[in-house]
Amino acid sequence: SYEVTQAPSVTVSPGQTASITCSGEQLGEKYVSWYQQKPGQPPVLVIYQDTERPSGIPERFSGSNSGNTATLTLRGAQTTDEADYYCQVWETTTIIFGGGTKLTVL
Amino acid sequence: EVLLVQPGADMREPGESLTISCQTSGYTFSDHWITWVRQKAGRGLEWMGRIDPTDSYTTYGPSFQGHVTISTDRSTATAYLHLRSLKSSDTAIYYCARRGDPEAMRGAPFDHWGQGTRVTVSS
């Protein structure tokens, strides 16, 4: 079965750029979505269709997807961006989530 | 405003069953899949399954096939997740979520989520 892999944690300094990756075989041929989840809250969609931002999501959030890796990029990281981030793909009839990456802004 | 409303919490004993509701509003119910996602404490998101309210076509994640049932009531715009023969390992938060417009959002992203139902299975 198809799998996607994320690093468990990423640390970034305030104001710097954070990159969170999601890896899977030929992932670039699939559409990737990204979710942000803060403690005690449901996930929030921040990127869909590899690069698109839903309304209300800051321009600081961007996405890319090529080859075997999709990347969520946060420019100008803020302490409010501290959260778990999950990638998600749709493989035939199955939805697959990555294991999540905990972003620390420190 | 799109809303997905779930009960906050529920508790059952091992072996019992439970049905969690997801009351939707603010959009045409049959236009969007509903999916269910499980999250155990301190763990990641697990996709359980989804339903197309148009025809009730369902698919389930491999770990949940045969253990859960997803259904809808179009008259009340409500989706349901039925959990049977509960074990302590089913203790988790269960989220319902709406698939975004399939014409505008490829890849089945979920653009609106319920607040989650915290289920505790304990004797």
Whether the predicted pLDDT of B102 surpasses 90: no
State whether residue A93 sits within 8 Å of chain B by CB: yes
Per cent of chain B over pLDDT 90 is 93
Shortest distance, CA B76 to any CA of chain A (angstroms): 23
Tell me if B93 sits within 8 A of B117, measured CB to CB.
Answer: yes
**Which letter does DSSP use for residue B29 in this model?**
G
The residues with which B34 forms a beta bridge, in sequence order, are B51, B98
Phi, psi of B75 (to 5 degrees): -70, -25
Q: Which residues of A touch B33 (CB under 8 A)?
A: none
pLDDT digits (tens, 9 = 90+) for A57-83: 999 999 999 999 999 999 999 999 999
Whether the predicted pLDDT of B107 surpasses 90: no
Instruction: Give the pLDDT score at A59.
Output: 97
- Minimal-distance CA residue of chain A relative to B42: A39
State whether residue A96 sits within 8 Å of chain B by CB: yes
Instruction: Give the pLDDT score at B21.
Output: 98
Residue ranges of E strands in A24-68: 32-37, 44-47, 61-66
Whether the predicted pLDDT of B40 surpasses 90: yes
- The model's confidence at residue B74, banded by pLDDT at 50, 70 and 90, is very high
Instruction: Compute the mean pLDDT over every residue in chain A, rounded to the nearest whole number.
Output: 97
Instruction: Compute the mean pLDDT over every residue in chain B, rounded to the nearest whole number.
Output: 96
Whether the predicted pLDDT of B106 surpasses 90: no
Tell me if B74 sits within 8 A of B51, measured CB to CB.
Answer: no
Tell me if B88 sits within 8 A of B14, measured CB to CB.
Answer: yes
Q: What is the rounded CA–CA span in Å between residue B17 and residue B56?
A: 22
Per cent of chain A over pLDDT 90 is 96
- Listing from the earlier edge strand, what are the strands of the sheet with B3-5? B3-5, B18-25, B78-83, B68-73
Shortest distance, CA B77 to any CA of chain A (angstroms): 21
Instruction: Give the pLDDT score at A51.
Output: 97
- Across B2-25, average pLDDT: 98
pLDDT digits (tens, 9 = 90+) for A2-54: 999 999 999 999 999 999 999 999 999 999 999 999 999 999 999 999 999 99
CB–CB of A42 and B95 under 8 A? yes
Whether the predicted pLDDT of A92 surpasses 90: no
CB–CB of B59 and A93 under 8 A? yes
Convert chain B into a string of H (helix), E (strand) and C (coil): CCEEECCCEEEECCCCCEEEEEEEECCCHHHCCEEEEEECCCCCEEEEEEEECCCCEEEECCCCCCCEEEEEECCCCEEEEEECCCCHHHCEEEEEEEECCCCCCCCCCEEEECCCEEEEECC
Whether the predicted pLDDT of A84 surpasses 90: yes
**If you search the block for the tokens 């269709």, which residue do you land on?**
A49
Instruction: Give the pLDDT score at A6.
Output: 98
- The model's confidence at residue B109, banded by pLDDT at 50, 70 and 90, is very high
Shortest distance, CA A21 to any CA of chain B (angstroms): 16
Phi, psi of B31 (to 5 degrees): -85, -10
Burial class (CB within 10 angstroms; exposed 0-12, middle 13-18, buried 19+) of B58: middle
Q: Which residues of A touch B100 (CB under 8 A)?
A: 45, 48, 54
Amino acid identity of residue B97, one-letter, is: A
CA angle B37, B40, B46 (to 5 degrees): 30
